[in-house]
Amino acid sequence: MLRRLLVLVFAWVLVVSLWAQAPNSLDSILVYKGETPGTGPGVSVLKLAVGEEVVLVAKGVDSEGKEVPIAPTWKADKEITLITVEGKGRCIRIRLKEAPSVSAYVTVVVIREDGKKVSTDVAVEAKK
C-alpha cells in the first residue's frame, strides 16, 4: 500500500513539474529591424525611401514576455517587395517599390497549434 502511494505521489510530482516547464503558447509577435531580435516593443512604423531595403525579424512572445519559437509567414501590400533571407526563417528583407499614398503594410502571421491566428502589422511610409 505504501509503495503504491509513493508511486502515485511521484507520478503527481512528475506531471506537475512537466506542466510547469511546458512551453507557453504564443501571445504576440514583435518585429525588429535587423537580423537579430531585440528587446522592447519592436517597430510598428518604418520610413523608407523608394528603392530602399531593410531586414525585419519576427520574435514570438508569450503572455509573460518570454520568447516562443515561431515559423512565421510574411505578407505585404503591393507597394512592397518581400525578399527571402536565406537561412534566416524569421527574417525577411523588404524593399519599397513605390511610394504608398499613406502607408503600406507588412504583416507577419503565425498559426498556433490550437488554430488561433496571431499577427502583427508594420506600417511602411515613404520618406519625404
Q: Mean pLDDT in each 10-residue stretch from start to end of the chain (128 residues)? A: 62 49 76 83 92 95 91 94 82 94 94 92 93
- Whole-model pTM: value is 0.77
Domain extent at residue 119:
24-126
95, part of any domain: yes
Please give the Cα distance from 108 to 120 (Å, whole number).
6
| Strands 104-111 and 117-126, bridge-based pairing | antiparallel
Backbone angles phi, psi at 50, to 5 degrees: -60, 130
84, part of any domain: yes
- Run of H or E including 93: strand 91-96
Phi-psi region of 5 (alpha: psi -120 to 50; beta: other; left: phi over 0): alpha
The CATH number of whichever domain residue 31 belongs to comes to: 2.60.40.3450
Q: Please give the tally of structural domains in the chain.
A: 1
Task: Give residue 16's pLDDT.
Answer: 47
